[in-house]
Amino acid sequence: MPTLFTMTVDTEEEWDWDSGVWPTENLQLRNIHELTRFQETCERHGVAATYFTDWAVFQDLEARDLILDLSSRNHVEIGMHIHPWNTPPLNRSREVTGRDSYLRTLPEEQIEAKLGTVYRAFEDAALRPTSFRGGRYSSDGPIHEFLRAHGFLADASVVPYTSWPDDGSPDYRHRNLEPVRLAPRHDKEAALWEIPLTLGFTRKPFEAWARRFRAIENSWLSKLKLIGLMQRSGFVRRVWLNFEDTPALDMLALLRVLRPMELPAVCFTVHSSSLSIDKNPYSRDEGSLHRIWSTVDEVFKVLAGWDDFQPATVSEVALQLEAKHHASYRHQPSG
């Protein structure tokens, strides 16, 4: 079975990520107009794309129409995304904190209500999402309960080998690149596959290097800047298939390490707000923006020549994984 590769876009409003402010009104969506160009780039290289779209996008008529146009194209999926800080119902009695930006930290009834708001926006647009990514990669427990109840096939929120120091952030330090199947609990429920984003190292074994990087970062050794030295020297690099801040050479180096591993899937990502010049920290000037677009073009041009990597949307990955799971189960020896 070839390795499936999927391109994911967190499709959302733009704002200054470094401001410490979580905007709840007057949301700006100029970046959405760049998605037509991005999709044309994907089509040129035969790439399947999943646009994880949040509530704010559906509230802007032009942005909504553009998403609907994308949804009609081949090899395109419109998945569900959520920014809990600006998704109703909102608590106007206090300012949004960093902890509030992680959906998983909210009371269970608020989690369900906010997810319901986004899901109804999809229904009103005659779309039925079957894949999900939490804002700030936040997903577990009650979020999975909602996804299971509404027939979702995939959750693409896990960032392997990572954690963030923020209050309430998810901890994926012990997750690897393998998809995880959450089995259905009854006959009318589909399996939910956690399909991780792809973050790894240019040397194996990944788990050992993840432990070493964490040990350095959490000790006095961080002052010696050993990680920066290892990465600059090329001895070992931690690489995320994220077009915002990863050079094409590093992405291709990781992909060459992954290639003989024959993983079920690899997952690329970018935020829609990084595709235009704005307050996003990754695309604040023409040079940074050009680098992002050039990296997308360079990486996918190489990948198009690898027959052992095949494009798929996130839900298509989940469906193929589920088919493989059932085929394996049927062929198990009896007795």
Q: What is the pLDDT of residue 180?
A: 98
Q: What is the pLDDT of residue 223?
A: 66
Same domain, 76 and 216: no
Residue range 309-313: average pLDDT?
Answer: 98
Same domain, 156 and 232: no
Same domain, 309 and 321: yes
20 by DSSP, 3-state: which?
Answer: coil
68-121 confidence digits (pLDDT tens): 999 999 999 999 999 999 999 998 878 899 999 999 999 999 999 999 999 999
Closest residue by Cα to residue 77 from 156, 173, 140: 156
Residue range 202-231: average pLDDT?
Answer: 86
Closest residue by Cα to residue 122 from 81, 155, 84: 81
Do the Cβ atoms of 52 and 81 come closer than 8 Å? yes
How many Cα atoms within 13 Å fall on the side-chain side of residue 58?
25
The partner residues of 180 in beta bridges, in order of sequence, read: 194
Same domain, 232 and 301: no
Q: Which residue's entry shows tokens 């931690």?
A: 238
Q: What is the pLDDT of residue 115?
A: 98
Q: Measure the CA angle with vertex 192, ends 52 and 155; round to 5°.
A: 25
- As a whole number of angstroms, the distance between CA 28 and CA 158 comes to 27
Q: What is the pLDDT of residue 148?
A: 97
More confident residue, 248 or 329: 248
Do the Cβ atoms of 45 and 300 come closer than 8 Å? yes
155-166 confidence digits (pLDDT tens): 999 999 999 889
Q: What is the pLDDT of residue 330?
A: 65
Whether residue 335 is contained in a domain is answered as: no
**Number of residues written out for the chain:** 335
How many Cα atoms within 13 Å fall on the side-chain side of residue 155?
27
Averaged confidence pLDDT in the chain: 94
Residue 144 tokens read as 């999975």
Report CA torsion sign: 96, 98, 103, 109.
negative
For residue 83, which amino acid is it? H
The total number of structural domains in the chain stands at 2
| pLDDT band at residue 325 using 50, 70 and 90 as cut-offs | very high
279-307 confidence digits (pLDDT tens): 889 999 999 999 999 999 999 999 999 99
Same domain, 277 and 298: yes
What DSSP character marks residue 71?
H
How many Cα atoms within 13 Å fall on the side-chain side of residue 204?
10
155 by DSSP, 3-state: which?
Answer: strand
Same domain, 264 and 315: yes
Same domain, 232 and 300: no
Q: What is the pLDDT of residue 224?
A: 65
Same domain, 267 and 172: yes
Whether residue 245 is contained in a domain is answered as: yes
Burial (CB count within 10 angstroms: exposed 0-12, middle 13-18, buried 19+), residue 190: middle
245-262 confidence digits (pLDDT tens): 999 999 999 999 999 999
Provide, for the chain, the percentages of residues in helix, strand and coil under a 3-state DSSP scheme, each rounded to the nearest 5: 45, 15, 40
More confident residue, 184 or 94: 184
- Is the overall model pTM greater than 0.75, yes or no? yes
Residue range 121-128: average pLDDT?
Answer: 98
For residue 293, which amino acid is it? W
| pLDDT band at residue 227 using 50, 70 and 90 as cut-offs | confident
Q: What is the pLDDT of residue 234?
A: 83
Burial (CB count within 10 angstroms: exposed 0-12, middle 13-18, buried 19+), residue 242: buried
Same domain, 190 and 319: yes
Q: What is the pLDDT of residue 71?
A: 98
Same domain, 26 and 70: yes
